[in-house]
Amino acid sequence: MSFRASGLHHATAIAGRPQGNIEFYVRLLGLRLVKRTVNFDDPQTYHFYFGDQLGRPGSVVTFFPWLGAGPAVRGAGEATALALRVPPGALDAWRARLDEHGVSHATTERFGAEVVAFTDPDGTPLELVEGAGGEPETWPGAPLPASQAVQGLHAATLLAPELDATAALLERLGLARAAEERDEAGTHAGRRRVRFADGDGLTHLDLLEAPERAPGRWGTGSIHHVALRAADDDALAAARELLAELELNPTKAKDRHYFRSVYFQEPGGAVLEIATDGPGFTVDEPADELGLGFRLPPWLEGERDFLRGRLPVTASPEYADRFSRR
């Protein structure tokens, strides 16, 4: 069986206070809150999706705000950074914007490109990298012009204690080695970049060699998983079959309402997901009202009042004047 992922689909991290998460990603980073729903596997927890105007695959960062979670312990077998793509020439404005908001940041160089690294209020490691491509666009009410706005995901970095085994698996999923260098911080033996061979040309994965790193532990600020794109349900089924052949024990295909997903652990221990491009976030809200309502999949509608009562009230800056409790 063969399968070729076409890019990064989304990445999911663990947040703390729900409203603080929304404020940072919408007001400061300028992403659009495209869905307020619950974690389908733990419905008494929110699940927020942020992305471009429509939350297209490749633009999406999502969060489970787990109020009781302890702090993350970084380690092997997880993604340790998410890089977001900004338009060429935008990094100076971003450094000024982060300064203005009291977010400390550091600039390094990686494969000849500048990387601005910082963390969100919960400690999630983020990076901004300039990159051409894609349609520069923004959404009505966005706090930033298209010339500065985050355009989508650029990369995720996996801390890889089994770098060759992880790379070999990713090769089976359609990624190919693109470049290699010593890590800029000197704390890891090397960094290997792998690109989606038949992919969107915009996203990639970096593998950081970590031969003796202890495993990480999920907590506030952890990147929970990274999802790769499958075009449709047939491609997802092929991916699942391939992962089963490779004895990686993939989950059954799960209905995530906005896409269908299969989860598995790569040989280094990180949780990866394969997710379909469709049906997307307009399946239960019109494009101009994404993120306005509190949305539940049909199988949880019967618990709406109970869940509303269990979850703290949140509002998006975008909808300050017409926040909905629907």
Residues in touch with Zn ion (CB under 5 A): 12, 227, 273
Burial class (CB in 10 A: 0-12, 13-18, 19+), 181: middle
Nearer to Zn ion, 24 or 64 (CB): 64
CA distance linking residue 216 with residue 206, whole number of Å: 18
Single out the residue of 291, 297, 220, 224 nearest to residue 258, CA to CA: 297
Nearer to Zn ion, 94 or 218 (CB): 218
Q: How far is the CB of 10 from Zn ion (least distance, A)?
A: 6
CB of 129 or CB of 262, closer to Zn ion: 262
Neighbours of 279 (CB within 10 A): 12
| Residue recorded with tokens 């809150």 | 33
d(CA 158, CA 77) in angstroms, rounded, equals 7
* CA dihedral (117, 219, 312, 295) positive or negative: positive
- Residue 216 gets which letter from DSSP? P
Closer of 42 and 109 to Zn ion (Cβ): 42
Residue 33 or 90: the one with the smaller Cβ distance to Zn ion is 33
Q: Which is nearer to Zn ion, 227 or 262 (CB)?
A: 227
User: Quick one: 210 or 227, whose CB is closer to Zn ion?
Assistant: 227
| 268 DSSP 8-state letter | T
* Cβ 227 to Zn ion shortest distance, Å: 5
Report helix, strand or coil for 111: coil
The phi, psi pair for 285, rounded to 5°, reads -150, 140
* Alpha carbon distance 262, 272 (integer Å): 9
To the nearest 5 percent, what fractions of the chain are helix, strand and coil? 20, 35, 45
From the CB of residue 209, how many other CB atoms can be counted at a distance below 10 Å?
Answer: 20
**To the nearest whole angstrom, how small is the minimum distance from the Cβ of residue 290 to Zn ion?**
18
Q: 126-164 burial, b if ≥16 CB within 10 A, otherwise e?
A: bbbbbbeebebebbeebebeeebbbbbbbbbbbbbbbbe
Is the Cβ of residue 55 or residue 87 nearer to Zn ion in the bound state?
55
As a whole number of angstroms, the distance between CA 86 and CA 65 comes to 26
